[in-house]
Structure 1
Amino acid sequence: MEETQKSYLPVFLFMFAAIYILARFVVFRTWSPKTRPEASSCLISLAHGTPAVVLAVGAVLSENIGFASPNTAAQNLVLDYSIAYFLTDLLHYLVFFPSDVLFIGHHLATLFVFLTCRHVVSHGAFAVLSLLILAELTSSCQNAWTLAGARRSDVVFAAKLHRLLSPPFYALYSLVRGFAGPYFLYQMAAFYLSGAADTVIPRWVWVSWIVVVFTAISVSILWITNLWVELYRERTGKLEKKTS
């Protein structure tokens, strides 16, 4: 029990804060003041996304596998890692983009799920980390796409990279958020609705998890749908110009 309760949150908070500072004042120091904060956020997202997927895959394949299983030390480690990232990025948005209520709300809701799983019920990390894997599978591609998009107006290579990445990124994101995510959420909801976890995860906790995840998936589907529409209009407009 002592091993599973040990928290590495302070260590990870320091790490993500250091990466953010390095990004802002060294890696992207030549970028404009307008794009530098977003780029710094992308770098800590890159530092979180793929490592979190690798760590989470190993953690969910540990001996305690199930929607109501107690958290293992490995699972709690990944939760601490992700909590530290979202706290750091939340602070970034509060300082530089306080009007971006969508991202701030997303980070607060995600932190609620992670913190209740880690410190309130100490069960259900299999479900939470499985959702984290699905959410972060597209992280590397999304951040590369975002960074390219931030410089596409003044760097030719960035514009080409952004155009190149858009279709595969949209396709992967649609597959994960539009199909895999909803299917896993259905399995998760069906299990919790059966009452099988009520003795270890209070109903108000798992209901809030379902609501948060359902809302996040719905917003993601709306977001990617709008991007597909924009891409279609952009490509159609260019085709019409060539043929006119």
Structure 2
Amino acid sequence: METRILESVPCLPLFFCMFFVIYLIAYFIVFRSWSPKLRPEASSCSISFAHGTPAVFLASYAILAEPSRGFASSNSQFQNLVLDYSIAYFLMDLLHYVVFVPSDVLFIGHHLATLFVFITCRYLVSHGAFAILVLLILAEVTSFCQNAWTLANARKHDVVFAANLYDFLSPPFYVLYSIARGFVGPYFVYEMGLFYMSGKADNVIPKWVWVSWLFVVVTAISVSILWISNLWVELYRNRSGKLEKKMS
């Protein structure tokens, strides 16, 4: 019964409409008092809140519910549902960047590359969701903290609570992000690469597809490591500067 329902309902358009409505509510109601410069970013964070943590739980269930899971295993219906959920989110957030921040080529490129991975896994090869969903979990496990940190960062100069929240969240967020993107992620991608390079998946996932996946993921992880490294340096400089002022 569950499988028939999932097959009959066009989940992707419904999910996209959901994220679109959340974005509109955030932009025109929740953050209506924010400056026009900050409202789009805050609205983007709102749909990220709606996607990130739920995606972690949905992807975890989709993986654990399948007894036969592996880098070359076929996608289950529920795994495809989770992929549709993430595809809808990235499409909506891509629309946000194209409309409000068209100069942010890095994020637009990131979203296009991510969509390529999700769409090929979901609609082209219908295999490999296990690997893609594990990567989704690692990418989104920090999402809630990151979005709260981003909103606090946006208002830290004019709201005392936002400044305090930003200072409070920065160290734990940086630690969690560093572990997920700097250690667990690279190790999983290493195992993923070893499996695909062995040729064990070539009969269900064409070589050009998994090579593309690895290229996108390795690039994304590399950029993430560079980003968090710069944030650690900035945090160290700020804390050192404050300490020097207190001692002088």
TM-score range, shorter chain: over 0.9
Match of 1:214 in 2: 218
Equivalents in 2 of 1:62, 1:242: separation in Å? 55
Runs of 4+ aligned residues of structure 1 deviating over 3 Å after TM superposition are 1-7
Match of 1:15 in 2: 18
Match of 1:124 in 2: 128
The answer to whether the Cα contact below 8 Å between 1:56 and 1:75 also exists between their aligned partners in 2 is: yes
* 1:43 matched to 2:32: no
Equivalents in 2 of 1:2, 1:70: separation in Å? 18
Equivalents in 1 of 2:180, 2:187: separation in Å? 10
Match of 1:24 in 2: 27
Match of 1:58 in 2: 61
Equivalents in 2 of 1:110, 1:57: separation in Å? 19
Shift of 1:177: 0.3
Equivalents in 2 of 1:229, 1:162: separation in Å? 16
1:170-220 superposed Cα distances (whole Å, 9 cap, x missing partner): 000000000000000001000000100000000000000000000000000
The answer to whether the Cα contact below 8 Å between 1:4 and 1:72 also exists between their aligned partners in 2 is: no
Shift of 1:62: 2.3
1:49-97 superposed Cα distances (whole Å, 9 cap, x missing partner): 0000000000011224111011001100000000000000000000000
Residues 130 and 114 (structure 1 numbering): CA distance in 2 closer, same or farther, change over 3 Å? same
Code of the residue aligned with 2:102 in structure 1: it is P
Query: Residue 149 of structure 1: which of 127, 136, 153 is its match?
Result: 153
Match of 1:108 in 2: 112
The answer to whether the Cα contact below 8 Å between 1:16 and 1:88 also exists between their aligned partners in 2 is: yes
Code of the residue aligned with 1:24 in structure 2: it is Y
Code of the residue aligned with 2:42 in structure 1: it is A
Query: Residue 68 of structure 1: which of 42, 56, 72 is its match?
Result: 72
Equivalents in 2 of 1:159, 1:84: separation in Å? 32
Query: Residue 93 of structure 1: which of 77, 93, 97 is its match?
Result: 97
Match of 1:200 in 2: 204
RMSD over aligned Cα atoms: 1.2
Equivalents in 1 of 2:78, 2:70: separation in Å? 15
Equivalents in 2 of 1:29, 1:134: separation in Å? 32
The answer to whether the Cα contact below 8 Å between 1:170 and 1:228 also exists between their aligned partners in 2 is: yes
The answer to whether the Cα contact below 8 Å between 1:3 and 1:73 also exists between their aligned partners in 2 is: no
1:137-182 superposed Cα distances (whole Å, 9 cap, x missing partner): 0000000000001110110000000000000000000000000000
Shift of 1:241: 1.0
**Matched residue count:** 244
Code of the residue aligned with 1:210 in structure 2: it is L
Query: Residue 187 of structure 1: which of 187, 191, 194 is its match?
Result: 191
Q: Give secondary structure in 1 for the equivalent of 2:157.
A: coil
Equivalents in 1 of 2:183, 2:166: separation in Å? 25
Deviates more, 1:203-212 or 1:60-69: 60-69
* 1:80 matched to 2:65: no
Unaligned runs of 5+ in 1: none
Equivalents in 2 of 1:130, 1:181: separation in Å? 9
Code of the residue aligned with 2:117 in structure 1: it is V
Shift of 1:4: 6.7
Equivalents in 2 of 1:111, 1:67: separation in Å? 19
User: What is the TM-score when the length of structure 2 is the normalising length?
Assistant: 0.96
The answer to whether the Cα contact below 8 Å between 1:4 and 1:71 also exists between their aligned partners in 2 is: no
The answer to whether the Cα contact below 8 Å between 1:24 and 1:40 also exists between their aligned partners in 2 is: yes
